Structure 1
Amino acid sequence: MSGWRHVVRLSDVSRGAVNVDLAPDDTTRAEIARDLGIESLPLFRGRLTVRPWLDGAEIVGRFEARVEQICGISLDPFETDLSGDIDVKVVPAGSPNAPVESPGSEVEFDLEAPEPPDMLASDDIDLAAYLTEHLALEIDPFPRKPGVTFEYEPEVKEESPFAVLRNLKDKDA
């Protein structure tokens, strides 16, 4: 993964909200593009607010990006504008607000329930990692250039009725 990091400490957030504008440089965007398996990343920026939430933090904001991919049908490069919202909650390790998972128990998914908070490994919150993760979720894994359609017509073999009978006779022999 790229070495792009922008860290906010959980202890700094406990004193009040922190607003951050993030925009990696050209070299870093090229590394991120390579890591995400896209041709290039001409634009990538985000505006995040990190504010206290229970014993952790809430990260909210928005990102916008322009990604260049290769069309899976025509093999032509093309660019797509992407944007998305970020709304993530994080808690420190050992938090009573962390999701509880029992070993060997089944995990139940409720699509209507709010996303459980992420558990931090340390006091650091890497905002660049959350921004990149949300971009990765928006990238189409099967890119198709606008206007390109897939048209497939199988080869049609015209066989006479006698050829079909000959094939049946050959099978019996």
Structure 2
Amino acid sequence: MSAWRHMIRLSDLARGPVSVTLEPGAEARAAIAKELALEGLPALQGRVTVRPWLDGAEITSRFTAVVEQICGVTLDPFETQIDGDFVVRAVPAGSPNAPADSEGGEVEMDLEAPDPPDVLSSDDIDLAGYLVEHLALEIDPFPRKPGAEFNYEPDVREESPFAVLKRLKDDGA
């Protein structure tokens, strides 16, 4: 799906936690910007740590990015600094710790409970994919350039329906 990938295998965690710094090059940032419908992505860097968790992995990250968007008010491009972090747990397919699929049944959600773990389709974990996914969640869907104001003033000439009828009567209609 993503043009930028950084894969590790679940089996790599047998030796302990793995930490990497991810920073895509200019070409990858341009592809990510296009994927996220941004004008540009001048900077993206994340520090990702993957630890063993049950029979899967726990992925934690802190990231910073500079995104370029179009202001919804002035239509001018502008840049915004984004800082974020996330924690995701993932387990292999067929794991007893994977969330149960409820086929057609009702799903009860506890908003205070931690998210269920992601189910991996293979032994590979795409760390860059998780980073881009969580960057997308932090981007303002209604960007507004700092200081931009929307000043809409409706036509002040509000007439009551009776005033309109009186004017029509006076005009000889």
* Structure 1 and Structure 2 fold alike (TM over 0.5): yes
> Would you say how many aligned residue pairs link Structure 1 and Structure 2?
171
Is 1:36 aligned to 2:36, yes or no?
yes
**How far 1:159 sits from its partner (Å)?**
4.9
Return the alpha-carbon distance in structure 2 between the equivalents of residues 27 and 88 of structure 1. Answer: 27
Q: What is the 5 A alignment of 1:5-20? A: 5-20=5-20
**How far 1:61 sits from its partner (Å)?**
1.6
Is 1:128 aligned to 2:119, yes or no?
no
Q: Secondary structure at the match of 1:14?
A: helix
Indicate the larger mover: 89-98 or 158-167. Answer: 158-167
**How far 1:14 sits from its partner (Å)?**
2.6
CA separation of 1:157 and 1:88: change in aligned 2, threshold 3 A: same
CA RMSD of aligned residues (A): 2.1
Gaps of 5+ in 1: none
CA separation of 1:128 and 1:166: change in aligned 2, threshold 3 A: same
Q: What is the 5 A alignment of 1:143-158? A: 143-157=143-157
**How far 1:87 sits from its partner (Å)?**
0.3
Cα offsets for 1:56-108 (capped at 9, x unmatched): 00001201000000000000111000011120000000000011122011122
CA contact (8 A) 1:45 1:64 kept: yes
Cα offsets for 1:29-64 (capped at 9, x unmatched): 000001100100000010011010000000012010
CA contact (8 A) 1:2 1:28 kept: no
CA contact (8 A) 1:14 1:51 kept: no
Indicate the larger mover: 12-21 or 153-162. Answer: 153-162
Specify the alignment match of 2:22 in structure 1: 22
Return the alpha-carbon distance in structure 1 between the equivalents of residues 113 and 163 of structure 2. Answer: 65
Give % identity.
Answer: 65
Specify the alignment match of 2:165 in structure 1: 164
